[in-house]
Amino acid sequence: MLKMSVRATVVAVSLMFLLDFCASTENIPRKWAAFSANITSLSRYNVSDVDVKAEILCSILATKDGKANLFCFGPKSCVFGHVYLPDVEGEQTPGYNCYYSEVCLRDNETVHEGEKIPDTFCPNLNLTCTKRGLVNLANGVPPLTSCTPPFVQHPFGCMYFNQTHMTLCDAKAYCQSLGAQVASPTTHDKYLALMTYLNANYGSSSQGMFWLGVYYINGNWSYESNGRWPGPDGQYEWLYNQPNYGNGRDCVYTSYQEGSSFFALVNYYCDYGLAVICHAWNLEI
């Protein structure tokens, strides 16, 4: 495991975070629940490992990280980061206490694990908060437990690309019926890997226009899975002149930038017909 001895800095920085944390929790409260994890094989690629003396400081660092869904405190270190929970779930590494984040972030609100809320855009569907974020989960359709056809394992997740054009709600219901959900990448890196794949496989073809699980809710854009923000207008994950504001253009799909064939996000009416990427969320985080 990676070791970083930066105690003095971390204590000072932690105190700054503590103040910041108290302010920021008013907006996005995080809850951490005990989780049994074998962290012996985690590397610095997965987690940060810093030397702090109190569990509360460790939880603050993990909360501050924003993406971290796991933190573990031992007598000599604080390990935190964003990991694929099923990979680490197991017999607790001796000397550590581990916790995972059990809330789903939805724009400026939080939903607790196990809680079911109505789907904002599709009246017949619900969203359920799970360890892997907010997902459309149907009674009687178990989430996928292995990546089998028509799903294919990609570096950015186990996905199924279906070219049949559907409205957003039909796409959601279709993916839900397969034990999956409309793809909603949980990190910017996974978003980039998906766009690279679209670029390589669809070039500047209109066949690369797929619904993604990103919506305009309460005056802001967020990924459904974990509330991630796609960035300022026209930047980061948006195509240069997107989003367009106007009543009902609340849903998002992938499209290429004219001329450069670079894929990014575009918003449009949810009842438009587009291809869909179903994502086996249960196999991802």
Min separation Cβ 204 and ligand NAG, Å: 22
- Main-chain dihedrals φ then ψ at residue 91, nearest 5 degrees: -65, 130
Min separation Cβ 220 and ligand NAG, Å: 4
Min separation Cβ 38 and ligand NAG, Å: 4
User: Cα separation of 219 and 230, whole Å?
Assistant: 13
Min separation Cβ 101 and ligand NAG, Å: 15
User: Cα separation of 139 and 80, whole Å?
Assistant: 34
- Residue 239, C-beta contacts closer than 8 angstroms, at least 6 positions apart: 255, 257, 264, 265, 266
User: Cα separation of 192 and 207, whole Å?
Assistant: 18
Cα torsion angle, 33, 136, 220, 161, sign:
positive
- ∠ CA 8-13-17, rounded to 5°: 150
75 vs 219 by CB, closer to ligand NAG: 219
Min separation Cβ 259 and ligand NAG, Å: 29
Min separation Cβ 213 and ligand NAG, Å: 17
Question: CB–CB of 234/242 below 8 Å?
Answer: yes
7 vs 44 by CB, closer to ligand NAG: 44
5 vs 108 by CB, closer to ligand NAG: 108
203 vs 273 by CB, closer to ligand NAG: 273
- Main-chain dihedrals φ then ψ at residue 28, nearest 5 degrees: -130, 85
14 vs 128 by CB, closer to ligand NAG: 128
Residue type, 127: L
**Chain residues in the site for ligand NAG (CB under 6 A):** 38, 40-41, 45-46, 83-84, 87-88, 90-91, 108-109, 116, 124-126, 138-139, 162, 164, 166, 174, 218-220, 229
Min separation Cβ 130 and ligand NAG, Å: 14
8 vs 91 by CB, closer to ligand NAG: 91
Q: What is the greatest pairwise CA distance in the chain?
A: 57
124 vs 247 by CB, closer to ligand NAG: 124
User: Cα separation of 231 and 252, whole Å?
Assistant: 13
